[in-house]
Amino acid sequence: MAVKYPAIGIRPTIDGRRRGVRESLELQTMGMAQRVADFLQENLRYPDGSPVECVIADSTIGGVSEASAARSKFSGANVGVSITVTPCWCYGSETMDMDAAIPHAVWGFNGTERPGAVYLAAVLSAYAQKGIPAFGIYGEDVQDSGSEEIPADVQAKLLRFAKSALAAAIMKSRSYLSMGSVSMGIAGSIVNDQFFQEYLGMRNEYIDMSEFVRRFEEEIYDPEEFARALKWTKENCQIGPDNNPAHLQVSEEEKEKQWETCVKMALIGRDLMIGNPVLAELGFEEEAQGHNAIAAGFQGQRQWTDHFPNGDFMETILNSSFDWNGKRAPYILATENDSLNGVTMLFNYLLTNTAQIFADVRTYWSPAAVKRVTGYELEGAAANGLLHLINSGSAALDGTGQQSLEGKPAIKPFWDITDEEVAASLKETFFRPASQEYFRGGGFSTDYLTKGGMPVTMARLNLVKGLGPVLQLVEGYTAELPGEVHRQLDERTDPTWPTTWFAPILTGTGSFKSVYDVMNNWGANHGAISYGHIGADLITLASILRIPVSMHNVDESQIFRPRVWSLFGTDSLEDADYRACRNFGPLYH
């Protein structure tokens, strides 16, 4: 199903006084808007790889009538983000965009000839007074009035705001699809529809896992694609050693049947999320529609996995940036239907357009413990200790780290991935017969080791009674251990599962005094791991959604929130964030 992505609306506001003032500013003001539009379209892409669309108001906006005309144009053009630009004084409450349901930013040109900064302060005050938080963008250095440059600091803020605001806009009116219900009592899989509706503007959709069985038995999937997918899987997915004791191992014939089921699950899971027109041709018009899901979760354990092959292959391949159809955008599918980790994966994905690693935050390994068990002394980024991130059987294949940027391991948007990198990711992955003690119905767990040296951010959304959602995040690096050291540590858990060794960046304060403190303050058993240090973008997105951030190691100079946040205090930004989010409430309440 084709997705119509929201556009960014650019609003050039101007001093409304005629007979010389407005006329002298028309070209400069409209030129500013065009340059911002060009800059964003050149530097931002939607999840499908297409350039972000910018819509500019038909005229400069000098008063309420032109503001209303711009709003009408934006409504018809699917605008979900508003950026106002001006080099001069304008009439604040008369020219501002009053749509409280979309994110707003204002760039006031820092020049001495006209008071763009004065308008910026005035209109941000109006936004605060009217309860519509807006981001203020003001360059540090004075520019000449004729300058057509967008300064570097202004560029950074435009990109940070636009990326985060688009993420919020793209989620709106989409669905989270719960495949099954609560997995093993994990609170994140108790799907909270109020949170999705009020904070994200999303719907909740639900199916029982018996829907998979119905589609197996009634053959509600594309048979041609199934044959092609099964062939690709057998040719490209290496079977790893069976770690089960002899009395629990299944026959090769049974493994063949399990592979067929696992591939069908992947097809069906995708079709449930986004639909498939081929199903309509087969006579299944209703099923062809899908659930308009931008993210989903599969319960699996235990009601499914005690009898059927697990969801590991489905989760792995859908979360990856490629499959039997070639390179494509990943689907966001949470293990154990942990909707809160699924949402965090979605945040990360929409900010980066890259596949996400879902993982248990399983073990803190101190330097002393590693040395006691293996005799090895941790060094480099890992010198202060490690977190063992290891999901119970699935993780996006991009997480192998076999893609590269400037010669270093990376995870890239699908349109930048080469065929060689796809092949390398598959080569470094084994699909191991699932642990029969955990997964009585069998299946195949994804087994790989993430390359070290990648900058990554681990994040997690939590719900707290009486407080609501809270985001926490930590930037750090993937680490690489000597092969034998990794083996010894890995075999203390389940060596058939994918491992990422994570070394958080420490600041010496709060939750980042030590790696132990990071682990000890983590709010749940899961985390979403994204390539890149994207903490500042996550903080901006959280402020748009009115979700406070309880834990982060982002430098204060990089934090960008609506200007009104400073009116809640500037000494402790964390305290001010909590107060501002509580004061304004959810974006869609």
For residues 395 and 358, give the distance between their C-alpha atoms in angstroms, rounded to a whole number.
6
From the list 53, 97, 205, 360, the catalytic residue is 360
Please report, in tens digits, the pLDDT of each residue of the chain (589 residues total): 568 999 999 999 999 999 999 999 999 999 999 999 999 999 999 999 999 999 999 999 999 999 999 999 999 999 999 999 999 999 999 999 999 999 999 999 888 677 778 999 999 999 999 999 999 999 998 888 788 899 999 999 999 999 999 999 999 999 999 999 999 999 999 999 999 999 999 999 999 999 999 999 999 999 999 999 999 999 999 999 999 999 999 999 999 999 999 999 999 999 999 999 999 999 999 999 999 999 999 999 999 999 999 999 999 999 999 999 999 999 999 999 999 999 999 999 999 999 999 999 999 999 999 999 999 999 999 999 999 999 988 999 999 999 999 999 999 999 999 999 999 999 999 999 999 999 999 999 999 999 999 999 999 999 999 999 999 999 999 999 999 999 999 999 999 999 999 999 999 999 999 999 999 999 999 999 999 999 999 999 999 999 999 999 999 999 999 999 999 999 999 999 999 999 999 999 8
Residue 412 contacts residue 354 (beta carbons within 8 Å): yes
For residues 223 and 279, give the distance between their C-alpha atoms in angstroms, rounded to a whole number.
10
Ramachandran angles phi, psi of 119, nearest 5°: -60, -45
Q: pLDDT tens digits for 251-289?
A: 999 999 999 999 999 999 999 999 999 999 999 999 999
> What is the pLDDT, as a whole number, of residue 110?
85
Q: Which long-range contacts (CB under 8 A, 24 or more apart) does 23-27 make?
A: 25/60, 25/87, 25/88, 25/114, 26/60
Which tokens belong to 494?
């389940």
Active site residue 360: yes
CA distances to 139, 266, 560, 584 from 564, in Å: 18, 46, 11, 11
Amino acid at 189: S
Amino acid at 57: A
DSSP string, 436-501: TTT-TT--EEEE-BPPS--EEEEEEEEEETTTEEEEEEEEEEE----HHHHHHHHTTS-TTS-EEE
Residue 406 exposed, middle or buried by CB count within 10 Å (0-12, 13-18, 19+): exposed
pTM: 0.97
Strand 134-137 to strand 104-108: parallel, antiparallel, or no bridges (unpaired)?
Answer: parallel
> What is the pLDDT, as a whole number, of residue 1?
55
In the numeric block, the tokens 């992955």 are attached to 429
For residues 333 and 297, give the distance between their C-alpha atoms in angstroms, rounded to a whole number.
5
Q: Which long-range contacts (CB under 8 A, 24 or more apart) does 37-46 make?
A: 37/8, 37/10, 39/150, 39/155, 39/158, 40/8, 40/158, 40/159, 40/162, 43/159, 44/159, 44/162, 44/163, 44/166, 45/353, 45/413, 45/415, 46/5, 46/166, 46/170
Strand 455-464 to strand 468-478: parallel, antiparallel, or no bridges (unpaired)?
Answer: antiparallel
E strand or H helix that includes residue 430: strand 430-433
From the list 336, 447, 480, 494, the catalytic residue is 336
DSSP 3-state of 45: strand
For residues 515 and 518, give the distance between their C-alpha atoms in angstroms, rounded to a whole number.
5
Which tokens belong to 29?
């003001």
**Chain centre to alpha carbon of residue 521:** 22
Nearest to 314 by CA among 235, 394, 237: 394
CA distances to 349, 371, 395, 474, 538 from 506, in Å: 25, 21, 26, 9, 19
> What is the pLDDT, as a whole number, of residue 146?
83
Hey, which bits of 522-571 come out as E strands? 526-531, 549-551
Which tokens belong to 376?
């090895």
Which tokens belong to 43?
């530097």
352 Cβ partners below 8 Å, 6+ apart?
413, 530, 531, 532, 534
Residue 287 exposed, middle or buried by CB count within 10 Å (0-12, 13-18, 19+): buried
162 Cβ partners below 8 Å, 6+ apart?
8, 40, 44, 52, 81, 83, 105
Roughly how many angstroms between the first and final C-alpha of the chain, as a whole number? 29
Which tokens belong to 202?
């999303």
Hey, which bits of 203-306 come out as E strands? 203-207, 238-239, 293-298
Strand 526-531 to strand 357-365: parallel, antiparallel, or no bridges (unpaired)?
Answer: antiparallel
E strand or H helix that includes residue 134: strand 134-137
DSSP 3-state of 389: strand
Residues in the chain: 589
Active site residue 198: no
